[in-house]
Structure 1
Amino acid sequence: MRTEWNEINIAIDADSLCYKACYRHQVPGGVDIEQAFMEFGYEIGKIKSAVFKLVKYEPGDKVVPIIVLSPKKTFRNELSSEYKSSRKEKEPIHGIKQLKLMIMHRVPQVSMVVPGIEADDVIIYLANNENMLISAIDKDVLHASPTSCYNYNQRRWENSSMTWEIEAWYVKQALMGDSGDNIKGAEDIGEVRAQTFINKYEGDMFSWSHFVDMFGDESLALLAMNLVRMDRVFKIDGKFVHNPWEPFDEDNIYWEQ
C-alpha cells in the first residue's frame, strides 16, 4: 500500500483572477463579494486540474496553489512616478481590495502579498529558485519563465524559456517599452528594430554601449531595464527584497561594454 504522496506546487499571479471575479459580480453600488470569492475559488480549481494534464501523477497526489497577489504600490512606482499612471477605468470595479483581503483571511496558508513587489516578480522568483510551475496571463511572465507556465485565459500550457531567450525578451521589452504599463522605450523603436538589435547578438553577449546608444541616454536605458525585468527579487533572511539590476553585476553573463 502506498504511504507517501507527491505534492506539486504552482505559483499563481492571481491579480487578474481577482479582477475578473469582481467584474462579473458587480451589483448596484458595489459587489457580491461572496459570489466573487466563490468564482475565484472555482478558477483556482481549474488551474489545479490543469497541472494533472501536464505532470505524471498517481491517485493521492495533490496540487497546492500558491496564490500571489500584488500590493497597491511597488518598487516600480518608486523607480518611475509614471508607471501604470495611464491606466484608468471607465467605470470603477468594486471589491478588488476586499476580495484580496478575504483571500488572505480565508486561505492564509496558500496566499501571500509581498510588500513593494508585484505578483509576477514573486512567481518568477519561485520559478527560478524553487523550480515551481507558475500560472499567469501576462505576456512578460509567459516569456520570462524558466518553468512551464499555465495561461489561465487561453487554458493552455506555455513552454519554458532558455536563459538567453529570457534575457533577449527583457532587452526587447526595454527597447520597445510598454504602453499598457506606461514604460518608455527607446525613441522610434518598434518590434522590428528591437528584434534586429537582438539578432545581432543571438546566443552571444549583448553590448551595453550599443544598447545605450539606442536610448541616447544611459539613465533612460537603465531605467527601462529595471522596469521590465522580473528577475531582481531575492530572499534575504526569509523576506523578499528587490535588488536593482546593473549591466555588469558579478552574476551577469549576458552583457559586455
Structure 2
Amino acid sequence: DPIAVKTTVDHLIKEWMNKAKAGTSICCMSDPSHRYFRHDVYPEYKANRTGERPAALTTALDHIRNKHRIAEYDGLEADDVMGVLAGSTALSDPVVVSIDKDMMTIPGKMLNPSKMRRPLRISKAAADRQVFMQALMGDRTDNYPGVEGIGPVKARRIIEQHGDARRCWGAVVEAFGDEDQAITMVRLSRILRAEDYNFDTGEIRLWHPVKPVWMRPTHHTTEKAKSKPSITSKPRSRQSSSTDTASETSSNKSAATNKKTQHRRKRTSKKRGGI
C-alpha cells in the first residue's frame, strides 16, 4: 500500500527528529546510478547484490525525494553523505541518526534510535579503531573479504592491544600480510568524512596511512564535475550546499541539525541537529 509506506516514512522521520531533538532534517540518499567510488577501488564491491529492489522501498525513496529535504552526491552512498555532513561547518551541531552500526566509524554525534536514548559522541580515535576492525572482519553484505578467520571478537582483540592509530595500522597490515590489500580494505570500510570530499570538484580523498590520494569517480561527466552538489528539497539540484543547514535521513539513516538564524539565540533554546 503506497499510502501506508509514505505515512510510515513521514512518521519515522518525525520520530527520529524528536529523539535527536533536531530542529530540521536532511535525508541522505545514495547516488541513484548505484555506481559508487568504491567500485573504482574494488570492482567486486557489492557484486553479490543482484536481486530487484522491493516495490515498497522504491515508493519510500521516491516519496523522500519528493517531500523531504535531501542530500545526494555523485559517486557517494548515503553513508558517505552522512559522514561528510557530520563534520560540515555549514551545519549547526549535527547528529547522525541511523540504525546502522557502520555509523560508529564517523567522528561526531551519533544516535541509534533503536538502542539509544540520547546521542553518543564518538571521538576520532574511537572511529578510526572501528574502521580498522571493520576492515579486518570484511563485510559479506558489501562483498569485500577482510581477513579470513577474523570475526568481531578477534578483530577487537587485535585493535585493543594497540593504543594509537600507528600501532593499530601496523597490526592490521600484519594480519593481512600485504599492505596494499590492507589499504584497499580500509578504503572500503571507511565512511567518508568532511575533509574527504571536495564540493567544488566532486573529488574524493582515498585513505592512506601516509599520503591520501584524491580521485574522481569514473562515472563523473565533465559537466557534472563543473557543478556543485547540494542540500536541497529537490533531487539533484546544484545549489551550493554551504548555504543550507539541516538534518538528514534516508530510509534507514537520518541526520538532523538546526538552521543558523540571523539573530543570536540563547544557549538554552538552541536545538541540536541529527544526521
Same fold, judged at TM 0.5 (above): yes
Aligned to 1:140: 102
What secondary structure is seen at the aligned counterpart in 1 of 2:65? helix
CA distance 1:155–1:73, shift in 2 (3 Å): farther
CA contact (8 A) 1:150 1:158 kept: yes
CA deviation map 1:92-144 (0-9, x unaligned): 5114334323322333xx21222210111111222223341111111010x22
In structure 2, the CA distance between the partners of 1:187 and 1:155, relative to structure 1 (3 Å rule), is closer
Please give the per-residue CA displacement for 1:62-92, whole angstroms capped at 9, x wherever unaligned.
7110111112221122322322233465x85
Counterpart check, 1:180 vs 2:141: yes
Cα distance in 1 between the residues matched to 2:53 and 2:35 = 18
Using the aligned pairs only, state the percent identity.
26
1 or 2 for the larger relative contact order (CA 8 Å, sep ≥6)? Answer: 2
Equivalent pair of 1:232/1:244 in contact (CA under 8 Å): no
8 Å contact kept, 2:106–2:193: no
Range with greater deviation from structure 2 (205-214 or 40-49)? 205-214
Paired residue type of 2:26: I
SS of the aligned residue for 1:227 comes to helix
Superposed counterparts of 1:63-142, under 5 Å: 63-71=23-31, 72-87=34-49, 93-107=54-68, 110-130=69-89, 131-141=93-103
Aligned with residue 227 of structure 1, among 188, 194, 210: 188
Unmatched segments (≥5 aa) in structure 1: 1-31, 53-61, 251-257
- Give the drift of 1:177: 1.0
- In the TM superposition, what is the alpha-carbon distance from 1:243 to its structure 2 partner? 1.4
CA–CA separation in structure 2 for the residues paired with 1:76 and 1:184: 14
For 1:116, give the aligned amino acid: G
Distance of 1:182 and 1:229 partners within structure 2: 15
The answer as to 2:135 corresponding to 1:196 is: no
Q: When you count strand as a share of all residues, which structure comes out higher?
A: 1
- Which structure: larger Rg? 1
Partner of 1:151: 112
TM-score by length of 1: 0.70
Q: What residue ranges of structure 2 are gaps of 5+ in the alignment?
A: 213-275
- The alignment yields a C-alpha RMSD, in angstroms, of 2.7
SS at match of 1:243: strand
Equivalent residue number for residue 16 of structure 2? 47
Q: Equivalents in 1 of 2:61, 2:77: separation in Å?
A: 14
CA distance in 2, matches of 1:124, 1:64: 18
- Corresponding residue for 2:210? 248
State the number of aligned residues. 207
| Cα distance between partner residues in 1 of 2:124 and 2:193 | 14
